[in-house]
Amino acid sequence: MLRLHPLPVAAVATIMFVVNQTLTLQINGESRAVPPLRNVQELVELLGMTQDRIAVELNRRIIRRADWNATLLHDQDRIEIVQFVGGG
C-alpha cells in the first residue's frame, strides 16, 4: 500500500517559487514583477535603496528595520517605501 505524506510548508513554498519565476508586488502603487524574494531586506537590496533613510510599509503595516529579514514577501503584496530627505 502506498502512503502519501503532506509536504512541509517550506517545501511547498519552494515548489511555488520554482514554478513561478517572478513575484508580482505592488511597490508604491506600481505593479512590478521581481525575481523571487524571501523577505523585505532582499527587496530593499534589490531596489538599491539606502537602508538608513527609508521606512517600509507592507500591506498597510509598518515594518521595523530589525524585522526586515524575518518579514516574508508573498505574491501580490502591497509595499510602500518612503525615503527621508534632509534639507532646509
Domain map (residue ranges) of the chain? 19-83
CATH architecture of 19-83: Roll (3.10)
Give the residue from 71, 64, 70 showing the smallest Cα distance to 25: 71
The answer to whether residue 7 scores a pLDDT higher than 90 is: no
Residue identified by cell 524575518 is 70
Give the pLDDT confidence of 16-64 residue by residue, as tens digits: 545 558 899 999 999 999 998 999 999 999 999 988 899 999 999 999 9
DSSP per-residue codes, 34-67: E----BHHHHHHHHT--GGGEEEEETTEEE-GGG
pTM of the model: 0.73
